[in-house]
Amino acid sequence: PSVYYGSEWGIRGAKQPGSDSDLRPAIAETAEQGKYARLPPHLKPEISALHLENTIRRLSELRKTNAALRDGDYRQLQVSSTVLAFERIFKGKNKPGAESYAAVVANSDESTANVSIRAESLGHGRRFFDALDRSAIFTSEHGSLEVQIPARTLRVRAAFEKARVPE
């Protein structure tokens, strides 16, 4: 996943035949105009720009504090038209004891998804926390971790024993 021109404010891009102008719409440069002033209605955000900016800031901080998310090997676990699940594993190259693990699940559907992540690397009895909701604790069972993910939501499961929980 990445932040693309205007997506940090919830601006929706739209590919039009013969033109990319709606993929990169003009954004007003002054606070008096408001950043959405010149946007056509079909490109205006559906969510609060402040909420989205804070979420991106939080995800950026999470990436900075978790070696797996920053530098880990990537492996897809599940791919469908509405769900993407992948794991990132950092093995502490040149840093013994610096191993880190994270499983990321994204649900773009309009309804809740129940996802069973299966990977040998999850192990059995390994403890995980939800990096975006630190109060939620999970335990793997025989290489499987169950994730209930609300509509249009992202979940990040980080290994408890090796990861620092961000503030």
**pLDDT confidence tier of residue 120, bands split at 50, 70 and 90:** confident
Share of the chain above pLDDT 70, in %: 71
Instruction: Convert the pLDDT of each residue in 58-101 to its tens digit.
Output: 888 999 988 899 999 999 999 999 999 999 999 877 666 668 89
Share of the chain above pLDDT 90, in %: 27
Residues ≥6 apart with Cβ < 8 Å to 103: 77, 85, 86, 87, 88, 117, 119, 122, 128, 145, 147, 156, 157
Residue 50: pLDDT over 80:
no
